[in-house]
Chains A and B, each alone.
Chain A
Amino acid sequence: MIFEGVSFGHPKSAAGEVVFNTGMVGYPQSLTDPSYRGQILTFTYPLIGNYGVPGDELDEFSLEKHFESSGIHVQGMIIDDYTERPSHWTAKKTLGAWLKEQEIPGLYGIDTRALTKTLREKGVMLGKIIIDREAGFDDPNRRDLVKEVSPDRIRTYAQKGSRMTVVVVDCGCKNNIIRELLKRGVNVIRVPYDYDFTGLTYDGALISNGPGDPKKCVKTIEHIRKAMAQEKPLFGICLGNQLTALAAGGNTYKLKYGHRSQNQPAYLVGTRRCFITAQNHGFAVDDKTLPEGWDPWFRNLNDNTNEGIRHRTRPFFTVQFHPEAMAGPNDTNFLFDDFIKIIEEHR
């Protein structure tokens, strides 16, 4: 299938796995989300670029204030109606200028609903953006994507008067996960995805989001298994949910076209409480394969896929969605409070 559009980013061909996101705001956050590594991102909502792109200033924790990492991670961007003249008090440049700066190709003028329908019916697929020269297809899932986005050294965020230390296993961690922890006054040790953190002195561990197939993160799974034996509170987000499930002995599988949006309802299993969540994942936990002692925690109200698991007796709990939002709703932000509380209870 061929779509024709107009280039508004870096004039260079690119290839990757084509996925769609139905969120109506938050393109700066989405583009810098490391979980999109290797993917060509389509925005179903047609009007994009409206409020431009903010500057790359850092916040009080030295994290990029407006972005989820230090740069764009997608291979390319596909939209319909591009705003050439953005309007916002935080805007420093246009979306096109930013893409050029970051050397990412972008196309506008594409019927993104038609493209989304195709992906929905046929499943996510490989694709390429041809601008300057013919390019081959490139399947990012064959690569070790987590390795590409995970840092290669430990970074410590120490805070004065901090009560506790949380290890974040960075498999491509979004800035706002770190920020949500730091805002609550804890120390954070951010470690590479394959780092054996069980030897560190810490009070709780958080396994972050990240791109690609969880089964490729063999070492991380091993470390999580080891950490479980230490019985310290363990929280996982997105890829962290899948890795924890695998460490516990469960299985994961690839969804036909994933969940990438800001309106996914996740209900608390066994209750009538439901939360609107932001999501970005192509793989999911098969919660029927969970071993004894583990329960599904949240499920998706739309398609009943797993949205989180937890251990019946031990302080291990993970979610498939993004309680840190950015982009998306903040309804499950309380999970960070719960995490801190549980750490306190277990010290």
Chain B
Amino acid sequence: MKVKKVLVLGSGAIRIGQAGEFDYSGSQCIKALREEGIKVILINPNIATIQTSKELADKVYFLPVRTDFVEKVIQKEKPDGIMLMFGGQTALNCGVELHEQGILRKHNVKVLGTPVESIILTEDRKLFARKLREIGVKTPKSRAVRTMTAAINAAKKIGYPVMVRAAYALGGKGSGVAKDERELEGLADKALSAARQILVEEYLGGWKEIEYEVVRDSFDNCITVCNMENFDPLGIHTGESIVVAPSQTLTDKEYHSLRTIAIKVIRALGIVGECNIQYALDPNSDDYRIIEVNARLSRSSALASKATGYPLAFIAAKLGLGHNLTELPNMVTKKTFACFEPALDYLVLKIPRWDLEKFRRVKKQIGTEMKSVGEVMAIGRKFEEALQKAIRMLGQGMNGLTGNTLPFDNLSEELRQPTDKRVFAVGEAVRQGRSIEEIHRLSGIDPWFLAKIQNIIGLETDLSKGHMTASLLRRAKRYGFSDRQIGLLQNKSEEAVYRARKKRNILPVIRQIDTLAAEYPAKTNYLYLTYNGQDHDITSSEKKTVIVLGSGAYRIGSSVEFDWCAVTAVQTLKKLGYHTVMINYNPETVSTDYDICDRLYFDELSFETVRDIYEMEQPLGLILSVGGQIPNNLAMACQREGMRILGTSPQSIDNAENRHRFSAILDRLGIDQPPWKELTTVREAKRFAEKVGYPVLIRPSYVLSGSAMNVAFDDRTLERYLKEATEVSKEHPVVITRFIMNAKEIEIDAVAKKGTLVAYAISEHIENAGVHSGDATMVFPPQNLYLETIRRIKRITKAIAKEFNITGPLNIQFIAKKNRIGVIELNLRASRSFPFVSKVSKVNFIGLATKAIMGKRARTTMSMLNIDYVGVKAPQFSFSRLSGADPVLSVEMSSTGEVACMGDDLNEAFLKAVLAVDMNLPRKDVLVSVGGERNKYRALEDVRKLHQIGYRIYATEHTAAFLRKRGIRSTMLYKAHNRHKKDNVLSYLKTGKIDLAVFIADEFNKDVVEDEYLLRRTAVDFSVPLVTNLQLFHTFVDALADHADERLQVKSWGEYK
């Protein structure tokens, strides 16, 4: 039977362990289905994704990916097929539940591709190990247990050290290595709270970690598309590892015997489509284990797709429909078929991106749990080249493996207990003359990789000693040194190095990723630059070309939203008839799919690389305003070198980014802003703080997501934060402003053309100012603003658009208290909320902005006030993955992703959004702990309301006493320090007696109280929904009191009119 209507499950918000790769896989799946005339229904609350754009699915539901909502969508849409493999672990788990509850059978929905039975086989460790044993394939000694006693017994049988992990978990959540029984107890306790079943396993630390991406069709044709090798030995999660493709240290025998096993396994499991197989390989013998099989598209499969040019997700979707590999075309060569294995004539290297410094108290060591928030991929013909490119791509100020100032207090310890800086530690160890053998012994990293790092350090020495000859310069470029890096080592400017190499004709060549290593001519537009080559694979285009810069690695503050913006800009340009070039290097994105643009350069977004590409492509100009902060920061440098920047002028961008100049302009325009001062000395800063009164906000210029932004409440903290801020932004001024308490935060996203406003959308934050806008819950259109406020915001925006002569996207953040409105920040680029307001309003702000930038007609008749429904955007936090991190909100952003849902009113939309970020609504038991007298008063009526509508209230000592005096009965629980007391709050949290924890800290007491931290952290560790903000609590209670949970409607995007 041929299916006509297919339901695709998305992966929801981006979080650690489940990121943008599922926008890529979902989008490809939808394209593959649509191509066959199949109607596609998509459920995904991640509104910033490309897959939820108008052009892709026939119908989109911005709803939580949960069985209750999915069943309702099935009832309504009556699809005949469902795809479970494209939405990460979220979709997979949901699919298994739908199957187990008989929902799919009941509604006659056929699972396309890999059957659920196979999924269960791969997810249930016991069944998995048994199945593999049957076919003679080795897995680690492992025992699945459900109790602590069983875990201890299992460990005794297997022998310490053992690995502990939770079944059905993504990103190694709740996993770790236990050296003894004490450590085992700690780990098992946590893991058992997160999963029904945990695994105690043989520990294979120090083995090589190898992965294969395997494809099978329903005719039993099997191929492996790519294999990958981890730079880091087993013991470090593959998501935390530096990974290379193809494998580098495997012989033919190893490569192909693991490949043969992979095919045997995919056949035995009965997978149709794609799976990822992870191996441990003994570095001293033929011995191996299969660690894991992921019967779905994964982060690794996205990487493999980008590494090889083989569109894994697209093909997997086609195979799910019953196609045969031999009849599907190879989309890269367009001359051959999908049934082949890519041969590479380059290597790729992936490095994860961590943002650990954004979190307080988080452990910096990397290990079996995933903590990284994004990744980059570099392509080169030398390992050294790819490694250095990738390090720069991380965008954390590193110039490559060398040319950085990174002191290590204890190098041996750093090598033994790696952190996110370990690759630099290896470089430093080589520099200090430690032998490869010693570094290998400490770090477990294969000597092959270490020898390559030694090559880089060798060249660093040559560069810092030697005269710049043509051959040295060429060698340095071939080993991936940037102009700037060479300049640092040679005491020359970046520009001088550029001129020197240009004079000697040392320029990169353009190479194609063609899947067949040049064996067949390919029409592919998938490109990278290298100095390890003598000719270009392609010539520059004669057409009217526009280059769009992407957003680089996903990190806190810059994620899939900017990918949506970049892709939308390219699509608009294409429609307008331009030849489009995209530059980006994030393997998790849709923008790096080569069918999006006319030419894709999978390469650095550095000034150097952009200039090289600009010179080769000779475009009409660059669009820098749709890729977030990275491209935006290049504006001035690009213009200085004569490149044409399309849209708002770089001078204006600079005036907005430089806080000092920006504030001065606002003063001149008579626009209100919180009192500010540029920092010169600490003494002056203190004097300013005294004058305007604490608290004050400290912020460096040119940063995104509030890096090193802090609120100081006294002289002591002021001093500390100032130091942090100057470290982050050495080249730019640091500004202090008065921090206004209890004020509302409002944002406007808009498009202007030649200084005139074309379209705008105003959103309000539920949380008061002080919570970073990326962590705030946003409402659009605003539901609680005075018309007067809206009018004033619009008037200010118009004035700013005119003053900065804006053409393109802009975003302004306002602070409002009573009727006073001040501007906090102006971004002359697309903001994080562009996809949200575009999709809720159904006016494509990026489409308009692109038209404006290209000087085309850009108009809309949309009026915000005519929208009869509400969109709520909620942040997704990943605290549970960051061991020890304090889950408290501040001016520095800490959420990893977001969702947005729509509803007929605020309450409905809000509850949907809350559910979509995995927060279960409380059934009965709510724990309240409010710090500070003022906060207690503010929370009082909400707690009362909760009590009145039938919730049982638990409260910590002071809060309970406060409530009792005001006639609210609550059960008193002792705080953490009274551990011995029976009714201790921690034990209640740990044993699942609390459905919702409301912990409001006293904002004036910024020295985090240990007790409060412990409460918050315990809630996170034991998966208890947590609210730490008063306004959010208020909205939550309002929605519950309104019984909005009883009318959560299942309406598609199109039904909101």
Measured between beta carbons, the chain B residues less than 8 angstroms from A86 are 448
Give chain B interface residues in 239-291, CB to chain A under 8 Å: 246-252, 255-257, 259-260, 263, 283-285
Partner of A273, one of B221, B283, B436, B518: B221
A114 within 8 A of B: yes
Closest A residue, CB atoms, query B283:
A89
A286 within 8 A of B: no
> Measured between C-beta atoms, what is the minimum distance from B346 to chain A in Å?
7
Is the Cβ of A46 less than 8 Å from the Cβ of B284?
no
Contacts A22-B519, A114-B535; A50 near B248 (Cβ below 8 A): yes
Which of B323-331, B742-750, B878-886, B965-973 sits within the interface? B323-331
Which of B82-90, B336-344, B809-817 sits within the interface? B336-344
Give chain A interface residues in 319-340, CB to chain B under 8 Å: 325-331
A122 and B839 alpha carbons, distance in the complex (Å): 53
Give chain B interface residues in 481-527, CB to chain A under 8 Å: 511, 516-521
A264 and B326 alpha carbons, distance in the complex (Å): 12
Is the Cβ of B345 less than 8 Å from the Cβ of A51?
no
B353 within 8 A of A: no
A116 and B220 alpha carbons, distance in the complex (Å): 33
Give chain A interface residues in 99-131, CB to chain B under 8 Å: 111-114, 116-117, 120-121
A47 and B137 alpha carbons, distance in the complex (Å): 31
Contacts A114-B535, A120-B521; A88 near B251 (Cβ below 8 A): yes
Contacts A80-B381, A89-B285; A265 near B517 (Cβ below 8 A): no
A117 and B534 alpha carbons, distance in the complex (Å): 12
**Chain B interface: which size bin?**
35 or more
B451 within 8 A of A: yes
Is the Cβ of B519 less than 8 Å from the Cβ of A120?
yes
> Measured between C-beta atoms, what is the minimum distance from B417 to chain A in Å?
23
Partner of B337, one of A20, A85, A301, A329: A301
Partner of A46, one of B220, B341, B342, B382: B382
Which of B222, B326, B446, B537 has the most chain A CB atoms inside 10 A of its CB? B326
> Measured between C-beta atoms, what is the minimum distance from B302 to chain A in Å?
21
Measured between beta carbons, the chain B residues less than 8 angstroms from A25 are 246-247, 250-252, 255-256
A85 and B260 alpha carbons, distance in the complex (Å): 29
A272 and B249 alpha carbons, distance in the complex (Å): 35
> Measured between C-beta atoms, what is the minimum distance from B244 to chain A in Å?
10
**Chain A interface: which size bin?**
35 or more
Give chain B interface residues in 377-402, CB to chain A under 8 Å: 381-383
> Measured between C-beta atoms, what is the minimum distance from A267 to chain B in Å?
6
> Measured between C-beta atoms, what is the minimum distance from B216 to chain A in Å?
12
Measured between beta carbons, the chain B residues less than 8 angstroms from A87 are 249, 446-448, 451
Is the Cβ of B251 less than 8 Å from the Cβ of A330?
no
B223 within 8 A of A: yes
> Measured between C-beta atoms, what is the minimum distance from B638 to chain A in Å?
30
Is the Cβ of B345 less than 8 Å from the Cβ of A261?
no
Closest A residue, CB atoms, query B252:
A26
A90 within 8 A of B: yes
Is the Cβ of B518 less than 8 Å from the Cβ of A47?
no
Measured between beta carbons, the chain B residues less than 8 angstroms from A112 are 345
Is the Cβ of B344 less than 8 Å from the Cβ of A24?
yes
Is the Cβ of B519 less than 8 Å from the Cβ of A116?
yes
A276 within 8 A of B: yes
Closest B residue, CB atoms, query A331:
B263
A92 and B250 alpha carbons, distance in the complex (Å): 15
Measured between beta carbons, the chain B residues less than 8 angstroms from A121 are 521
A262 within 8 A of B: yes
Which of B255, B335, B336, B447 has the most chain A CB atoms inside 10 A of its CB? B255
Partner of B343, one of A261, A325, A327: A261
Measured between beta carbons, the chain B residues less than 8 angstroms from A329 are 256, 259-260, 341
A81 within 8 A of B: yes
A83 and B454 alpha carbons, distance in the complex (Å): 12
Partner of B250, one of A23, A51, A85, A120: A51
A11 and B689 alpha carbons, distance in the complex (Å): 75
A120 and B537 alpha carbons, distance in the complex (Å): 13
Is the Cβ of A262 less than 8 Å from the Cβ of B221?
no
Give chain A interface residues in 14-49, CB to chain B under 8 Å: 20, 22-26, 28-29, 44-47
B532 within 8 A of A: yes
A-B contacts besides A81-B381, A113-B345, A302-B337, 8 pairs, CB < 8 Å: A44-B343, A54-B251, A85-B454, A262-B341, A273-B221, A327-B256, A329-B341, A331-B263
7 A-B pairs with C-beta separation under 8 A: A24-B343, A44-B343, A85-B454, A111-B533, A262-B343, A302-B520, A325-B256
Closest 5 CB pairs of A and B: A26-B252, A87-B448, A85-B451, A22-B517, A263-B341
A residues near B (Cβ < 8 Å) are 20, 22-26, 28-29, 44-47, 50-51, 54, 80-81, 83-90, 111-114, 116-117, 120-121, 261-265, 267, 272-274, 276, 301-303, 325-331
